[in-house]
Amino acid sequence: MTMMRELDTITATEDAHLINLYAKREVAIVRGAGSRLWDSDGKQYLDLMSNYGVNILGHAHPKVNAAIKEQVDRLTNCHSSFYNDARAEFLDLLGELAPAGLTRSFMSSSGSEAIEAALKFARVATGRRKVVATKRAYHGRTLGALNATADKKYRDPYLPLMEGFSHVAFDDIDAIGAAIDEETAAIILEPIQGEGGIYVPSDEYLAAVHELARRAGALLILDEVQSAFRTGTFFACQASGVTPDILAVSKGIAAGFPLGVTLVTDEVAARIPAGSHGSTFGANPLACAAGTATMRVLRDDGVLENAARVGTYLQEQLRALKHPKVREVRGRGLMIGIELRERATKYMRGLQQSGVLVLSAGATTLRCLPPLILTEAEADEAVGAIAAVLTSGGAAGGRSEGEA
């Protein structure tokens, strides 16, 4: 009798029990350390996706893990109707690092929840209903957030959605100006579009949109679920000197532990009725401990500087390839899109075979969201693998399956 591989058992079980929602990759990831992951067959990968942008400090970061271990033995859950020391510590540090003026927070456990809260808060604070979002935007797939997400493949199966949402071209100030009126509660934007294909707007865009919102009495919601921490500043909006009325953060803020935060100004907070929103798991001490440890590392250990420096280096090296299959390399820091002249999926799969994990974004863009601790040597390794896979037409290039 032949023994079943561990991978076959894992895939058979998942396939039998999970709803078929995800395009699965045929590997089971079982361990991680730094910028490396290992599958159930012991194959090593260079991680250029950090779990869709979550594990910003790499895997098993010693300081974050120590904080989680310490907290897990003390207290894991504590509803927000009670005060808690780990939560107070987290909020204190967040207050130090967040853009000035964003003084109050609602805490949840994911990016979509952070957006749900942002949309509800904008409606209740303005007494208005309309929301202007952008084409190619991704803000999550829960029923509220889905209204702001643009892609038809996520929206169409769940129609009809809420009324009052419109989508205008990204990085087009006039289009926002034409869409906004006295019934608009909010404009919602990613400062750099992520899932849509890594699009960085012109320098003046965010400030101009903020001014349009202010004049119309609407609020600006910035969705930094993906862009926070990756671009050389804590929040991408800080590069353009724009502080929104509402800021949504999640993914990296606890370096892998589920945590979402919706930050608002005092003015917005004052208009949110007590008891009108909440979450059982939100602001739990374990997530707070992980978040505090993560923000300390970001503040003290040169991680933002590394993201800016290695990000610039990686983008330069990718451009220097001048590969005929590459139309454009876009991004800021370690949020990078490589737009190809053909569909990206087979190259993403080829890279996986050669031991490098990347994402796609839109149909033709390869997306790199590596851990922010990536080294230049690892960036070189990535560029070598990408060049080889592009040249081979999508087959694993250069390296054999088991090679590190």
Token pair for residue 158?
């769940």
Smallest gap from Cβ 128 to ligand PLP, in A, equals 22
Q: Give the H/E segment covering residue 106.
A: strand 104-108
Is residue 112 involved in binding ligand PLP (CB under 6 A)? yes
Which of 311, 394 has the CB closer to ligand PLP? Answer: 311
Phi-psi region of 274 (alpha: psi -120 to 50; beta: other; left: phi over 0): beta
Among 223, 245, 339, 381, binds ligand PLP (CB under 6 A): 223
C-alpha–C-alpha distance, residues 290 and 86, integer Å: 10
Amino acid residing at 391? T
Among 110, 126, 306, 352, binds ligand PLP (CB under 6 A): 110
Is residue 140 involved in binding ligand PLP (CB under 6 A)? yes
Among 32, 58, 191, 194, binds ligand PLP (CB under 6 A): 194
Stretch of 62-70, 222-230, 344-352, 363-371 lying at the interface with ligand PLP (CB under 6 A): 222-230
C-alpha–C-alpha distance, residues 234 and 297, integer Å: 12
Residues with Cβ within 8 Å of residue 44, at least 6 apart in sequence? 36, 37, 38, 355, 404
Smallest gap from Cβ 1 to ligand PLP, in A, equals 42
Stretch of 61-69, 70-78, 105-113, 317-325 lying at the interface with ligand PLP (CB under 6 A): 105-113
Give, as ranges, the residues between 232 and 261 that touch ligand PLP (CB under 6 A): 250
C-alpha–C-alpha distance, residues 296 and 288, integer Å: 12
Q: What are the angstrom distances between the C-alpha of 342 and each of 110, 124, 200, 390?
A: 33, 44, 21, 11
Binding mask 26-55 for ligand PLP (x = CB under 6 A): --------------------------x---
Token pair for residue 373?
């601790």
Is residue 195 involved in binding ligand PLP (CB under 6 A)? yes
User: How many helices (H) and strands (E) are present in the chain, helices listed first?
Assistant: 14, 15
Token pair for residue 58?
């790499």
Are the C-beta atoms of 260 and 108 separated by less than 8 Å? yes
Among 116, 190, 378, 381, binds ligand PLP (CB under 6 A): 190
Is residue 111 involved in binding ligand PLP (CB under 6 A)? yes
Stretch of 8-16, 152-160, 221-229, 369-377 lying at the interface with ligand PLP (CB under 6 A): 221-229
Is residue 225 involved in binding ligand PLP (CB under 6 A)? yes
Are the C-beta atoms of 243 and 101 separated by less than 8 Å? yes
DSSP 186: E
Among 46, 49, 107, 115, binds ligand PLP (CB under 6 A): 115
Residue whose structure tokens are 């037409």: 393
Q: ∠ CA 59-196-311 to the nearest 5 degrees?
A: 45
Among 38, 90, 138, 234, binds ligand PLP (CB under 6 A): 138
Size of the site for ligand PLP (CB under 6 A): 15
C-alpha–C-alpha distance, residues 9 and 17, integer Å: 12
Which of 39, 223 has the CB closer to ligand PLP? Answer: 223
Is residue 201 involved in binding ligand PLP (CB under 6 A)? no
Among 59, 128, 130, 139, binds ligand PLP (CB under 6 A): 139
Smallest gap from Cβ 154 to ligand PLP, in A, equals 11
C-alpha–C-alpha distance, residues 316 and 329, integer Å: 9
Among 55, 71, 108, 226, binds ligand PLP (CB under 6 A): 226
List residues binding ligand PLP (CB under 6 A): 52, 110-112, 115, 138-140, 190, 194-195, 223, 225-226, 250
